[in-house]
Structure 1
């Protein structure tokens, strides 16, 4: 028998009424209260990266010019008669456009590479690029799934490598080219350590639940 007023006594009662949610209030933040833009000391890419892009552009230009010349020489006499009916300025215009494109592709790295840069911080990685349309990408380490280090034969000839950062969820990786091979490897190791430190360690209850689940199988 439980005495009246005993704290161990249970009284029948109806279901507890849910607490009323707190009133939603979305206050406006004045523009002056926003945090200021942080000054970032951007690190330039490797000094040999522009030269590596120029060499690649020269190789592509030689292939394009050689392919165009071979195609012109391989035209049969019947097709040459048809081409002779075309405007006389068409062929020089095409070769001039190809020449301008080749020269521009060789000079473009001297303009684009100095405007690229990166910063490795404690919690994220920043990368900027673009000449006319500029962009700054941020890669928080707690949102990065894995990284990948890769280099082409031409990259290895100049001692360079590219680091691709893949976001969590299986998104497309964002490559950061123009890094020294040693620098890229150090960044990959650092980001991998930050990813591992961001993963919460397994608790004893999780281990016990996993062991119990394996025992039930």
Structure 2
């Protein structure tokens, strides 16, 4: 029976051709209870003047719609009074009922929608919740934000409000948080800009606080 080869040089060459063993890889499961959630977030409500600002804007639009509808109604009745009266007698009543209902709904809706919006600034992101029937919670991580911008319309300035827009890195459409007090929006903008540039833990004095015009108690959950 032939003896097996035991050449040490051959053994070393064979070992050098062996690929390195893969490093150990761990992907442990995370318990569902350990996942962070937004149910315990102390949401900061929007400035209470924001609802009134939306109502004033709705009243202005309603006045424009009513004036335009009145002009259209007069033009149609003057040109074709017989056709409307014979073939579509229900059209004027339907038109004004629909327009009146839409105007009333647009004035009442801010009182329903605005209290269900809120935001909170954390160390690494900004959360914003909105929605009445279809509710959503958006997170804007600071390490993905490229820049921020403040803007306000003449009506916003009348109520001392501003909107904060957050734009992601690499371009794309930004996300806007409306209904902030002008001073609060500027403090949030400075806070986010500092976090983008430094990437360090925020100093205690630089932490944003609730809007000075907001309610003293924030709403208690994302689904409220």
For 2:41 and 2:26, locate their aligned partners in 1 and report how far apart those are by CA, in whole Å: 35
Q: Distance in 2 between matches of 1:163 and 1:107?
A: 25
Structure 2 segments unaligned to the other structure (5+ residues): 1-12, 201-224
User: Distance in 2 between the 1:102 and 1:80 partners?
Assistant: 27
Separation of aligned partners in 1, 2:68 and 2:46: 33
- Shift of residue 90 of structure 1? 2.1
Displacement of 1:79 after TM fit? 3.2
**Structure-1 residue corresponding to 2:162:** 161
Is there any run of 5+ residues in structure 1 with no aligned partner, and where?
1-12, 200-217
Report what 2:50 is aligned to.
49
2:35 corresponding residue in structure 1:
35
Paired position in structure 2 for 1:172: 173
Q: Which residue matches 1:130? A: 131
TM-score by length of 1: 0.77
Aligned residue number for residue 141 of structure 2: 140
TM-aligned CA distance change 1:58 to 1:139, over 3 Å: same
Q: Which residue is equivalent to 1:184?
A: 185
**Distance in 1 (alpha carbons) for counterparts of 2:198 and 2:106:** 43
Shift of 1:127: 0.7
Matched residue SS, 1:85: helix
Relative distance call for 1:29 and 1:20 in structure 2 (3 A) is same
> How far off is 1:170 after superposition?
0.8
Counterparts of 1:198 and 1:134 in 2: how far apart (Å)?
A: 31
Deviation of 1:23 after TM superposition, in Å, equals: 6.0
Q: Please identify, of 127-136 and 80-89, the stretch whose mean Cα deviation from structure 2 is larger.
A: 80-89
What is the DSSP-based 3-state SS (H/G/I as helix, E as strand, rest coil) of the residue aligned with 1:190? Answer: helix
- Cα distance in 2 for residues equivalent to 1:78 and 1:48: 45
Q: Deviations over 1:23-47 (max 9, x none)?
A: 6564444435x33535211111111
Bigger mean CA offset, 84-93 vs 99-108: 84-93
Give the direction of change, closer, same or farther, for the CA distance of 1:67–1:78 in structure 2 (3 Å limit): closer
Tell me: higher relative CO, structure 1 or 2? Use CA pairs within 8 A at least 6 residues apart. Answer: 2
3-state SS of paired residue (2:138)? strand
Q: Hey, what does 1:6 align to over in structure 2? A: none
CA RMSD of superposed structures (Å):
2.3
Tell me how many residue pairs correspond in the alignment: 186
TM-score, with length taken from structure 2: 0.75
SS of residue in 2 equivalent to 1:75: helix
